[in-house]
Copies of this chain bind each other. A is one copy, B any other.
């Protein structure tokens, strides 16, 4: 069957794979200083945001990604208080981090303010915590911002960025990780989206090698299903200093002061189990 103009199609040419969502129309189109931003109204997935033709999120399935980017690092750190979100302009990760009462301060450093403005209009549920007094929304270059942070001033860094091409490429490199490590000090957790473990295993391996080279002691990659990202199979990676990534605050996770849609203590542990073929590939270096 052919897909007509009523479908938004994203092709992953490197994988001979494409996925598509049926749309009713385009709600917004804008060339920002950084990228082309579009919003579509889909038949079954609510609003859809794309950047440079790639799916960033839909209203229907973003909960998986946002919960899995925020709660695992926060629940792995023994006493998280200060968090930085790098990218994350749709504010969904910010909302999830702010659900934790122990968090005292969250910086969100997004390079493209247009993404946040579009989220406020088309995904208001994700920006509902933006007025929280603990949240500080900054628009600028997170790579430069991270260099200026006091040593040990952050507990958790969440890199919620686009793929390692274009504006985000520096966020997958050793120099940036070294600055994150300095800001984390002696005890900290960095979490970063790390692409499809089936389609992009080489990217995942390269990223982990950069984290290791920057001085992180431990790494742990975990997985989840993300239907509207290529292959529907996605991963994130924790990098830690002074924290045992094999464990997490499980008892606290069983008594969360909010109800997860995807995240729970069992899902935290379950998502950390990785298929043997991936474990073998990552053990090779």
Task: Give residues in A with beta carbon < 8 Å to B.
Answer: 1-3, 7, 9-11, 15-22, 42-45, 53, 61, 64, 198, 223, 225-227, 231-233, 259-264, 266-267, 269-277
Contact = CB atoms under 8 A, between A and B. Distances in A.
A45 B21 contact: no
Contact of A277 (B1, B7, B9, B262): B262
Contact of A3 (B18, B22, B233, B267): B18
Contacts of A19: 17-20, 232
B264 A273 contact: yes
B44 A15 contact: yes
B15 A7 contact: no
A140 to B, nearest CB: 32
A267 B264 CA distance: 17
**Copies per assembly:** 2
Given A19-B232, A225-B225, 8 more contacts: A18-B19, A227-B233, A232-B233, A259-B276, A264-B275, A266-B273, A267-B274, A270-B273
Contacts of A17: 19-22, 44-45, 227
Contacts of A264: 273, 275-276
A88 to B, nearest CB: 22
B21 A16 contact: yes
A84 to B, nearest CB: 27
B16 A45 contact: yes
A48 B231 CA distance: 15
A272 B273 CA distance: 11
A63 to B, nearest CB: 8
A227 B199 CA distance: 10
6 contacts: A2-B9, A3-B3, A16-B43, A19-B19, A20-B20, A263-B275
A93 to B, nearest CB: 18
Contact of A227 (B22, B61, B198, B261): B198
A174 to B, nearest CB: 30
